[in-house]
Amino acid sequence: MMSPDSEILLEHPDRNLAMELVRATEAAAIRAVPWIGRGDKLGADGAAVDAMRAFLGTVNFDGLVVIGEGEKDAAPMLFNGEAVGNGRGPACDIAVDPIDGTSLTAAGRQNALSVIAVSERGTMLDASSVFYMDKIVTGPEGIGVIDIRRPIAENLRALAAAKNKDVGDLRVAVLDRPRHEQLIADIREAGAGTRLMLDGDVAGGINAARYESRIDMCVGIGGSPEGITTACAIKALGGFMQGVLAPRDDAERARGEAAGLDLDKVYGVDDLVSGDNTFFVATGVTDGGLVQGVRRKGPIIRTDSIVLRSRSGTIRRVQADHLVEKWLDEADR
């Protein structure tokens, strides 16, 4: 007969799961390396997807991809609704992004990551029917202080007061997109500085919530899938996050409403991910402010990863050396 402790382990993700998941992000990051700077983001993404899917198949959990590569018809692996893992562990929702920043990888730019986020089954919001989400993320100082419905200048003044800073000392991460021209102008007019991101707003959100980061806030419209993934990390960091879904047209609005999404609601972090035992795992593909990219050092490949868990409130950094002969094909050597 199974012991009560064993039953608990089968129902709830435990700390060992994080170390299994990091193997999958490491694999995806390593396989993406030959594509860095080659101008082929689809090739980079395909290599990372193949590697991540293969490793996830060995993990002791019953995973359901809630946030993945897209619908099954367009994504042969890691599609929304796909079952992953060996099925012998806890039932979990999973968000995967084999490369957050495929364009960054293709161009050889910084801040590309391989990412997995996990929470208990049924706790991740499935926002896949609406592609974009307007988001605001800060550290814990933003709790009870920031409101996405207010003008950005008011939020900046409120955050500065909560952090005992001048507004001029705040740094705000924003995706560098035409849709954000007015937002960027408003931030600068309020007196704060911007850190414009070419891609990869997951890292931007996490850096806004980390206490040692120079980023104080991440704001703007980015992907809804990235918003759910970021929420898993923010729960582990004790930070603040709000999001409002931003459909691009009436057809997308209708799909969102049909899926049961409230398009007028301000979603808090607990609405985006309601579980209290989230994991967030990321391995650097290229160098960035969160983690370093994959490095070849003679006979080894070195990876740098970050592992966050909300239940324990821990941030772990994992540096691993992998023997080249175990990882690369002859053509890659």
Could you read off the pLDDT of 266-315 as tens digits, one per residue? 999 999 999 888 999 999 999 988 899 999 888 999 999 999 998 888 88
Ordered DSSP codes for 69-134: SS-TTT-SSS-TT-EES-SSS-EEEEEEEEEE-HHHHHHT-S--EEEEEEEETT-B---TTS-EEE
Query: Known binder of ligand: residue 15?
Result: no
- Give the tens place of pLDDT for each residue, 220-262: 999 998 999 999 999 999 999 999 999 999 999 999 999 999 9
Sign of CA dihedral 212, 214, 220, 224: negative
CB atoms closer than 10 angstroms to residue 211: 11
Note the pLDDT of residue 272.
Answer: 96
**Does the annotation list 321 as a binding residue?**
no
The confidence score (pLDDT) of residue 4 equals 41
| 26-43 pLDDT, tens digit each | 999 999 999 999 999 999
Whether the CB-CB separation of 12 and 120 falls below 8 Å is answered with yes
Place of tokens 């900046």: 156
The packing angle between helices 201-209 and 224-237, to 10°, is 20
* Dihedral sign of CA atoms 30, 88, 10, 231 in order: positive
* Residue 186, marked binder: no
pLDDT at residue number 311: 86
> What does the alpha-carbon distance between residue 11 and residue 178 come to, in Å, rounded to a whole number?
45
Query: To the nearest whole percent, how much of the chain has pLDDT over 70?
Result: 92
| pLDDT attached to residue 329 | 57
Pairing state between β 193-197 and 300-309: unpaired
Angle CA 278–196–126, to nearest 5: 30
**pLDDT higher than threshold 90 for residue 183:** yes
Q: What is the pLDDT of residue 314?
A: 83
- Does 138 count as an annotated binding residue? no
Residue 283 annotated as binding?
Answer: no
- 193 pLDDT above the threshold of 50: yes
- Confirm or deny that 250 is annotated as ligand binding: no
In this predicted structure, what is the pLDDT of residue 198? 87
* pLDDT recorded at residue 8: 38
Cα–chain-centroid distance for residue 52? Answer: 15
In the chain, count of helices (H) and strands (E)? 11, 14
Mean pLDDT of the chain: 89
Look at residue 19 in the predicted model and tell me its pLDDT. Answer: 84
At 10 the pLDDT is 44
Rounded Cα distance, 82 and 76, in Å: 10
Q: Which two tokens stand for residue 81?
A: 């609704």
Q: Which domains does the chain have, with CATH numbers?
A: 4-122+279-326 (3.30.540.10), 132-272 (3.40.190.90)
Kindly give the interhelix angle for 41-56 and 15-32, rounded to the nearest 10 degrees: 150
Query: Is 69 annotated as belonging to a binding site?
Result: yes
- Residues 228, 269: Cα–Cα separation, whole Å: 9
Q: Is 267 annotated as a binding residue?
A: no
Categorize the per-residue pLDDT at 333 as very low, low, confident or very high, splitting at 50, 70 and 90: very low
Strands (E), the chain: 62-67, 83-84, 91-100, 113-120, 132-138, 171-175, 193-197, 217-223, 240-245, 267-268, 279-284, 295-297, 300-309, 314-323
pLDDT higher at 60 or 14: 60
- What torsion do the CA atoms of 102, 104, 106, 110 make, to the nearest 10 degrees? -130
Structure tokens at 295: 């490095």
User: Which has the closest alpha carbon to 133: 270, 272, 258?
Assistant: 272
Q: Establish whether 97 is an annotated binding residue.
A: yes
Residues 6 or more apart whose Cβ sits within 8 Å of residue 192: 156, 167, 168, 170, 171, 172, 216
- CA atoms within 13 Å, Cβ hemisphere of 321: 4
Contacts of residue 260, defined as CB under 8 A and 6 or more positions apart, other chains included, come to: none
The model's confidence at residue 179, banded by pLDDT at 50, 70 and 90, is: very high
Question: According to the annotation, is 262 in a ligand binding site?
Answer: no
**pLDDT recorded at residue 158:** 97
Q: Is 200 known as a binding-site position?
A: yes
